[in-house]
Amino acid sequence: MKCHDHDSRIRRSRHWAARALAVLATALFCLIPSVTTASAHGSVIDPASRNYGCWLRWGSDFQNPAMAQLDPMCWQAWQDNPNAMWNWNGLYRDGSGGNFPAAVPDGQLCSGGQTEGGRYRSLDTPGAWKTTDIRADFRVDLYDQASHGADYFLVYVSRQGYDPTTQPLKWSDLQLVARTGSYGPSQNYAIDVSTSGYTGRHVVYTIWQASHMDQTYFLCSDVNFV
């Protein structure tokens, strides 16, 4: 019980720290005039989506060559297009009509079908992305800077045996583990997920269908089931 309480405190601390940093994102964008930014939207902050995690770890030090050794997947993402990290809250597609496999081809799931002119294409690259340790029962925390609300969320986990370090993510690699109802406008959403049978490295894939229009977010989070 003491161990569980300790883990909960750590998780809460990390969540609030991530939220505080997310609130500061707009201010950081304004300090970098050479970078174009999308309107405020949102992303999964815990377990962190790929580009949110890269921004969180390296946003204040993104030109540090040490990143190439310490965090090589983030390094290749920053080199490909820094705007994918500065615009960590803009990975969405309009007009999918609920037919997500038609809008987002296999191998392009983490970039939302290379949305926004391919800005997020580096997120599709297989490799040793930094992971977040989670348990069989975990929670997806999503920050919605614009308070769009949600018609629903879909949460998938990659199947046991899929290797995200070597294989591009396909729809057939995903197993649906949670589907929610609607959420009213808010800046924070929490989705409780219960699973079994997963061990080791996986991708948690979250689809957020916003309520204000047919706008869908496609978000890859790298995790390690412990």
pLDDT tens digit sequence for 136-176:
999 999 999 999 999 999 999 999 999 999 999 999 999 99
Chain center to CA of 104: 16
Res 116: pLDDT: 96
Q: What is the mean pLDDT of the chain?
A: 88
Tell me the whole-structure pTM to 2 decimals: 0.84
Average pLDDT of 26-47?
A: 59
Res 177: pLDDT: 98
Average pLDDT of 68-72?
A: 98
Token look-up 């040793």 returns 128
Res 209: pLDDT: 97
Contacts of 32 (CB under 8 A, 6+ apart): 86
Q: Is 50 exceeded by the pLDDT of residue 24?
A: no
Res 109: pLDDT: 98
Res 139: pLDDT: 98
* Amino acid identity at 6: H
Q: Which is nearest to 125 in space by CA: 92, 88, 93, 164?
A: 164
Percent of the chain with pLDDT over 70: 82
Query: What gap in Å lies between CA 71 and CA 59, rounded to an integer?
Result: 13
Report which of residues 38 and 136 the model is more confident about.
136
pLDDT band per the 50, 70, 90 thresholds, residue 88: very high
Q: Is 70 exceeded by the pLDDT of residue 205?
A: yes
Query: What gap in Å lies between CA 67 and CA 104, rounded to an integer?
Result: 30
158 neighbors 201 (Cβ within 8 angstroms): no
CATH fold of 2-225 reads Coagulation Factor XIII; Chain A, domain 1 (2.70.50)
pLDDT band per the 50, 70, 90 thresholds, residue 32: very low
Q: Is 70 exceeded by the pLDDT of residue 53?
A: yes
Average pLDDT of 71-98?
A: 97
* Amino acid identity at 178: A
